[in-house]
Chains A and B, each alone.
Chain A
Amino acid sequence: MIFKLERRVDDSRWMAYLSPILAGALTLITGSILFWALDKDPLQTLYTFFIAPVSDLYGWTELGVKAAPIMLCALGLAVCYRGKVWNIGAEGQLLLGALVGGAMALQFLESDSAFALPLALVVGALAGMAWAAIPALLKTHFNTNEILTTIMLNYIALNLLLFSVHGPLKDPGGFNFPESAMFTEAVTLPLLLEDSRMHIGILFALFALVVVWVLLSKTFVGFQIKVLGLDSRAAHFAGFKERRLVWLALLLSGALAGLAGVCEVTGPIGQLVPQVSPGYGYAAIIVAFLGRLHPVGILLASMLMALIYIGGELVQIELNLPLALTGLFQGMLLFFLLACDVLIGYRIRLSPRFSATRKPSSAALVNGADANLSTPSQ
């Protein structure tokens, strides 16, 4: 290679913040090239994708509608990932929250009890929590890899939802469509703004943001989770209860994802349908990384991800491009982010073959740093 990576003495704080921006820019550039290759005017397409959706107030409220579930999921994932608990199951936890919370909402078809909505929300959050308790139990007591169990639980949750809307929860008066009856007013989330779809779910998300921020940066538990993630042996020697931390991270994450799910069905959707989520739980993984596992970063990253969802729909309608562009942009963004993150720990230098100005002292540094890195546990 012409370029060579050289270990920095300390990780660059600047690059940690700059890397997501750089990744976003690279995604836009690659996107433009793609649009150009598809015979679409890149500028016009980028405008339709990223500017037009938020050019009026209604657009911003739609952004809030989409950002809320992503943010709820991503905040929980951030707590997990800080402790190196690889929860990939936000999607399943969200679906189960929607399913169980929705089933509760269906109990109030002929009632306008004031307790109906809070009950549905709490039950939804608890269902998500219970779904996350499964990998927590399996990880802490049976040493089972949580990546694989949470993924499998995503598929199981989706099939349970499909089973329910095709079977027991299907609307008897619904012309045999696989969907439940519409929820009544009593179990529908109140709107924040008239003539929009923005519901109070965004407030739950903002509240969760504050809770997670306090938890991570102001409490001892948050500190313990961080230590567990950075160096599990140190956490062990410090006497931290690792199992309890894993449980806490997963339960919190599951509850938030479950809440996101029940808010979707009692909010913008208004009934149980097979497509509760266009992959919010997976998008939240990208958001968590893009937001640097920090609540404020996640707020911004959720808005960007919501924009990608809305923009993807708009270019489908207006420019006749496939809806799958959304997923493509999401994947590209994460790839570019991971690639740019190398700059946090490394500097790019011209290879010695091409540059004669390499100092011997830097080679010694490289050796020293690598010796530390490559022998972690022997």
Chain B
Amino acid sequence: MDYDLIVNILYATVRTGTPLILVALGELVCEKSGVLNLGQEGMMLMGAVIGFIAALETGNLWLGVTFAMAAGLMMSLLFGFIALNLSANQVATGLALTIFGTGLSAFVGSDYVGTPLVGVEPWHIPLLSDIPFVGRILFSHDPLVYLSFGLFVGVYLFLNRSHAGLALKAVGESPESAKATGLPVFRIRYLAVMFGGAMAGLAGAYLSLAYTPLWAENMTAGRGWIALALVVFASWKAERVLLGAYLFGAFSIMHLVAQGLGFSVSPNLLAIMPYLATIVVLVMLSSDKARVKLYAPVSLGKPFHPVD
């Protein structure tokens, strides 16, 4: 492989990893508060379609991004109402959110399939993008990629260096103790769920406004689910989410590598790679039961019934 190809593959890896980082960071915060939301895929799809429509109709991409985040947020409120207010089973509610989001996004976007849109353009950071190798790979992207860097740092600092992050983690470990110390368990969980929704919406917007600027039914192609696996892979640590997302990004662009090496493999077989990688990684990480128990938030997925 030549130099240009390697640079292009790494550049594409960052692009492909970006939506995974966004949605997985949202899910990480949500799970840290003890809430398991399996609706990421549905929220992403709604973000993608609403973001696309808003950007097309207003002619403003950033308005599109804002609307996408709002759409993800609204979807997460639906989840919050049923899973938190009504204490329904979180697994079933998350599944419902994905099924509903898949249907609703296809319905809302049915008139927009195949409509072209000029997507978010790359923004070469002065000086930094001139650095050989690294400049092209890290600093010649569209602004949403830089936003993902910033959000990663933000979530990392929030979880590891802030009082609010500590409160969030306490709620996820033991809501009873957290409540006893005066923390508003319900409100914290709601905020975490809403953050997860907004991030999923943003990830959807990245797909429909920057990655491939168009709307197609089910265009997330399971990225919401892969993000859920990523959080397990990362053993609920933000820095490993970043690493994992780029690793999965690399798996998703195997067709580039194959082309570069002169192989002609069916695109459908190559499309299997990220899903297969997800299973392999899950097997490797889950088989050590003790390790998963050590890192997973203790109250993950358990409803909490506040006593008046």
Contact = CB atoms under 8 A, between A and B. Distances in A.
Given A144-B283, A363-B308, A370-B305, A151 B222 contact: yes
Interface in B104-155: 104, 106-107, 110-111
A203 interface: no
Interface residues of A, number: 55
Interface string A363-378: 1001100110111100
A5 B269 CA distance: 51
B88 A341 contact: yes
A328 B107 contact: yes
B188 interface: no
Interface string A182-195: 00000000000000
Interface string B267-293: 011011001101100110011010010
A334 B107 contact: no
A338 B96 contact: yes
Interface stretch (B66-74, B202-210, B224-232, B237-245): B224-232
A166 B271 CA distance: 14
Contacts, number: 150
Contacts of B102: 327, 331
A335 B100 contact: yes
A208 interface: no
Mostly, the A contact residues are: helix
B87 interface: yes
Contacts of A36: none
A324 B103 contact: yes
Contacts of B278: 148, 152
User: Is chain B's binding surface mostly helix, strand, loop or mixed?
Assistant: helix
Contacts of A376: 302
Contacts of A370: 305, 307
B232 A155 contact: no
B222 A143 contact: no
A234 interface: no
10 interchain residue pairs of minimum CB distance: A327-B103, A331-B100, A324-B106, A322-B110, A163-B268, A324-B107, A328-B103, A342-B86, A142-B287, A152-B275
Interface of A: 1, 5, 7, 86, 88, 138, 141-145, 147-149, 151-153, 155-156, 159-160, 162-163, 166-167, 282, 285-286, 289, 322-332, 334-335, 338-339, 341-342, 363, 366-367, 370-371, 373-376
